[in-house]
Amino acid sequence: METTRSYAAQAGHYFDRPHTAPARAPLDGPAAWRGPEVAGRDDWRAVLGPAEADELRQALAAARATGQPTEALRAGDFPLPTLAAEVARWREAIVAGRGFQVVSGVPVADWSQEEAEVAFWCIGQHMGQPGAQNPQGDLLGHVVDTGDDVEDPYVRLYRTASNIAYHCDAADGVGLLCLRAAKKGGASRIVSSVSVYNEVLRRRPELVERLYEPFALDVRNEDESGVLQHLPIPPCRFADGRLRTFYHSDYFRSAQRHADVAPFTPDEQELLDLYEEIAASPDLYLDMDLAPGDIQWLSNHTILHARTAYEDHEDPARKRHLLRLWLSLGEEGDSRVA
């Protein structure tokens, strides 16, 4: 089995979602959560104790002792004799549970940036199979304001300090490790796509079936051949009692710039507006501020994620900086990648 996936292979795996028929009744289960309900609980946050932090330090030393470059390291190079079982529980929460997990207490203050990259990469190897985050093949991303122009229609907004609208990434799961937080703002906003679906079904059941038909997804100049401009992607797939959703507000809407993409019908426009209105409701979403040493794991099948705009520190050495992994994950109960 390949140890990493290309951008195209990972997207193909992610979008290969089983489907039988649209869900016409409300869905329940742990993935159908509401923000205010989970905000008062702590079952979605794991706090590493001193012994667990030491285990990560020892695993990092073992990985670096191999002399291998970061992207050549595998789970076996980063031994987690006790934490491996905890990592498996995090994966299960992503794959078959609420769809998100936050882990606090990763000792990034003790590490250089390079050491943090090695540790996060290796923890990701225990979680699943890393994949490329762009056609250039970058496997370990850096979420930082590079000064890119937010008005550029092709810029990926994680390279700016601006607000980022709700979206899913083209991978089963995404992980973020916070190295440094912003001076102000930059909250991670997440919402259950299952709960959003339930609310659309409650308000406008006649629109729901359109979610199972393709919308054009703008490629935004990320096809290296320069030929492909958009892809037909159905937001929702439903099979075996599980709803899997891909939604990307900006990229569905910007596809309208292409001459061969039909304008939205009134019903389609209403559906997209309603979907995003529901997702933006404080009754549904959960905001969280990631602190240095926090890892956030999310499912791209059951979670939509966004980010509020932020004000950064003037000192470049203190700028907001997160590491990012895209992962293919196993099915429920598996400890290996599908």
pLDDT digits (tens, 9 = 90+) for 240-289: 999 999 999 899 999 999 999 999 999 999 999 999 999 999 999 999 99
Mean pLDDT of the chain, nearest integer? 92
In a domain, 140, yes or no: yes
In a domain, 12, yes or no: no
Average pLDDT over residues 164-184: 96
Q: Work out the percent of the chain whose per-residue pLDDT is above 70.
A: 91
DSSP string, 217-236: EE-TT--TTS---EEEE-SE
pLDDT of residue 338: 30
In a domain, 100, yes or no: yes
170: domain range? 23-328
Measured CA to CA in angstroms, residue 233 lies from 201, 206, 229, 314 at distances of: 20, 20, 13, 41
Tell me if the pTM is above 0.75: yes
In the structure, what pLDDT confidence band is assigned to residue 320 with cuts at 50, 70 and 90? very high
Contact 328, 14 (CB under 8 A): yes
In a domain, 249, yes or no: yes
Per-residue burial over 237-258, b = 16 or more CB atoms within 10 Å of its CB, e = otherwise:
bbeeebbbbbbbbebbbbbeee
In the structure, what pLDDT confidence band is assigned to residue 111 with cuts at 50, 70 and 90? very high
In a domain, 188, yes or no: yes
pLDDT of residue 335: 37
CATH for 40: 3.60.130.10
Classified as helix, coil or strand, 290 is: coil
Contact 153, 255 (CB under 8 A): no
In a domain, 8, yes or no: no
pLDDT digits (tens, 9 = 90+) for 299-316: 999 999 999 998 889 898
In DSSP terms, which residues pair with 295 in a beta bridge?
Answer: 103, 177
Question: How many CB atoms lie under 10 A from the CB of residue 155?
Answer: 15
| Number of independent structural domains in the chain | 1
In a domain, 338, yes or no: no
Q: Give the amino acid at 260.
A: D
Average pLDDT over residues 166-177: 97
